[in-house]
Structure 1
Amino acid sequence: MKNNKRATINDVAKTAGVSITTVSRYVNGNYNKMSAKTRQKIQTAVKEADYHVNRQAQMLKRQNSHLIGVVVADVENFFSSLLFKGIDEILSQNAFQIILMNSNNSKAKEHQQIERLLELQVDGIILQPMGHRAAEYRFLKKQNVPTVIVDRRIEHAVWPEVVTDNYEYSKKLGELMLEMQYPQILVLSESVNENTARKERYSALNDLKKNHHFILGLIEVAENTSDHEIFDILKEKTHNFQIKTAVFAIKGPLLLRLMRILTQQHIIVPDQLGLSAFDDWEWAKLTHPLITAVQQDPKLIGSTAANVLLKEITENNFEQKLVTVKSELIVGHSL
């Protein structure tokens, strides 16, 4: 029996093996920088799918959609939940609806999610980027969609960015550890070079070495790194916990994981190992002993980003600026 379901632009994109945005450009006659081969593939796919452009819908979409796309790196992370809450509180007051997208820590999926938002012709995008170079987002820049970057900076910024002062607060935390006479500081992190927030936090401690004498070590964990492997590295770098050492967990979930490992191995904090962290969701306040940590405010980052985006949309006023949201250094009993 014949399928009477009307073909969509997504069907054409899948058949042609191109992005939805590329098909959209084709049907609107925008062939700039489109090869003849790509045009032929789309033309064939359009005929095969019997696809017809809904011009009435296009006219409607040229008006404000009152949709805002939010793309986060990991929707399961509490940082993302609080970031979203801050965004929603502002945008809902201004009659905007949010489309939340999860890149799942994948650059490829992030690209797909942004393409979907562009197809929906959202009025703006708030992006927690997986990439850290502006060149990786050239495809988005070309669309001239109001965009705000949150949490992680993009090198050679092209949009407004709303972030924590990762460097300055990490430096303050490092100075505190040195005041408490730790001869060794170990940074526990996922791949440092994967995003600018981690790089800034690590760089702050690395720069402290220029004027202070201490050992700085880095423990980078991957998705498949086991708790046993982390503990073995700690034992090795501390000479079985004989060297007075403070560990700086780069984010809250890593702090909780480390505390679980130390508890299982009967390591006493701070007697055998000092702990500190850059915290996302007040994890440190739920621990015993109270962890010394930089407490950032994801909700405030979200609401600030939403206000910046609203100004960009409603006033058609684009400013390539950096907005820094204050954090707080909480001194506990873990060092």
Structure 2
Amino acid sequence: MAKTKLIDVAKRAGVSNSTVSQYLNGRFDYMSEKTKLRIQKAISELDYVPNPIARSLKMNKTKTIGVIVRDITGFYTSRTIRGIDDYCKNSEYNLLIYNTDVDPKVEAKSLDTLNQLRVDGIIIASSGQNTDLINRYSDNGLPIVHFQLEHDGQEKNIIISDYRKAAFEATEYLIQLGHKRICFVTQDFNQVKSRKDRFLGYADALQKHAIPMDQSLIKYWHRETGFEQSPIEYLHTENPPSVFFTQHLAITTELLSVLNAANIVIPDDVSLLGFDDIPMAEYFKVPITVITQNPYEIGRQATKLLLNNINSKTPASEKIMIPCSLIKRLSCKQV
């Protein structure tokens, strides 16, 4: 059976092709109610479905945005995507989602593919390894908004959590509980501004309370290999930490596994405060104190900024900081 075309709808309704086109695009200013009803009836009878590609070519817009994420299964990422999707639904936009597994090559291919698909804009949690490619597309007029991590501080449009303030408030809370040996467990932060901001917040709180910075309390974790030094070994040193302050959900969950396997009891043996909430953490035997971000709102704000840039003749660069919250549970004790 041949696919119904716009010209078939026009013939059935007894109107011109341009009148049907105006109806489909919602331009009813000079259209009588009878004409609208005839077109609507013809569309229904012929089971006509507009060709979105043809319409996008005429309008120079696809009403579609691309979203590139590092790990689609992550709690933070899934909530961000929900915020993006909800905002898009209310704005009649569609999503194309690409997962990179933090692979710069996959990320570059995703950017190229979305550009070829003529998306109206892109929201990206980038690896930081495709800056030149992203800037080239942005300079050529493709609106791009970053989220999750700020890498070099040169991102033109970005929505991120206020990492420095959050880390400061969390560290100060630990200090107020009497902790002075606060082990800051992080990924390498020299090339990622957002990670460095967390460290600076930690350092700011130590400085405010006249606690000397001890470099031996800065411990590193790698996505592929885990902890550089065993947390258990570190707890058995002469001057161990009284609390671990972890900077990523994956670090927190791996640390919990290591401590549990060694029968280390939280908070009796060591306290723990983590960055990013753990799903269902309130049901743990010892609920974990965390800094929680607002990924849903980050998704909404990123989409709002992107659509504003898509629809603006003179888009402006903007950096928006979303506050975090400290959720106090039972994993941090007074010392």
Q: TM-score, normalised by structure 1?
A: 0.75
Please, which runs of 5 or more residues in structure 2 have no aligned partner? 1-52
The residue number in structure 2 matching 1:223 is 223
Which moves more between the two structures, 152-161 or 63-72? 152-161
Q: Matched residues, percent identical? A: 22
Give, in whole Å, the separation in 1 of the partners of 2:142 and 2:331: 46
The residue number in structure 2 matching 1:301 is 298
1:62–1:159 distance in 2 versus 1, CA, 3 Å:
farther
Q: Deviations over 1:233-264 (max 9, x none)?
A: 32333335863521111122321221122111
The residue number in structure 1 matching 2:269 is 272
Question: Following superposition of structure 1 onto structure 2, how do residues 232-311 of structure 1 map, counting pairs within 5 Å?
Answer: 233-240=230-237, 243-280=240-277, 282=279, 284-311=281-308
Say which of 61, 72, 77 aligns to 2:74.
77
Give, in whole Å, the separation in 1 of the partners of 2:166 and 2:240: 25
* Deviation for aligned residue 1:190: 2.7
1:224–1:161 distance in 2 versus 1, CA, 3 Å:
closer
The residue number in structure 2 matching 1:3 is none
Say which of 202, 210, 213 aligns to 2:211.
213
Give, in whole Å, the separation in 2 of the partners of 1:218 and 1:156: 23
Give, in whole Å, the separation in 2 of the partners of 1:194 and 1:173: 23
* Deviation for aligned residue 1:303: 1.0
Question: Following superposition of structure 1 onto structure 2, how do residues 43-122 of structure 1 map, counting pairs within 5 Å?
Answer: 60=57, 63-122=60-119
1:61–1:168 distance in 2 versus 1, CA, 3 Å:
farther
1:159 aligns with 2:156: yes
1:298–1:307 distance in 2 versus 1, CA, 3 Å:
same
Give, in whole Å, the separation in 1 of the partners of 2:93 and 2:156: 21
Q: Deviations over 1:172-227 (max 9, x none)?
A: 0011111122221112223323533222112211333434225352222223425x
Q: Deviations over 1:48-98 (max 9, x none)?
A: xxxxxxxx9798276111110000111121211111110000101211110
Give the secondary structure class of the aligned counterpart of 2:291.
Answer: strand
What residue identity is the alignment partner of 2:138?
A: K
| Residues 72, 99 of structure 2: 8 Å contact kept | yes
Give, in whole Å, the separation in 1 of the partners of 2:250 and 2:142: 33
Give the secondary structure class of the aligned counterpart of 1:221.
Answer: strand
* CA root-mean-square deviation: 2.6
| Residues 159, 319 of structure 2: 8 Å contact kept | yes
Give, in whole Å, the separation in 1 of the partners of 2:179 and 2:308: 46
| Residues 151, 191 of structure 2: 8 Å contact kept | no
1:237–1:121 distance in 2 versus 1, CA, 3 Å:
same
Say which of 175, 182, 193 aligns to 1:185.
182
What residue identity is the alignment partner of 2:154?
A: A
Q: TM-score, normalised by structure 2?
A: 0.75
Give, in whole Å, the separation in 2 of the partners of 1:239 and 1:183: 17
The residue number in structure 1 matching 2:11 is none
What residue identity is the alignment partner of 1:218?
A: I
The residue number in structure 1 matching 2:50 is none
* Deviation for aligned residue 1:280: 4.6
| Residues 280, 297 of structure 1: 8 Å contact kept | no
1:150 aligns with 2:158: no
Which moves more between the two structures, 270-279 or 318-327? 318-327
Please, which runs of 5 or more residues in structure 1 have no aligned partner? 1-55
Give the secondary structure class of the aligned counterpart of 1:153.
Answer: coil
The residue number in structure 1 matching 2:319 is 322
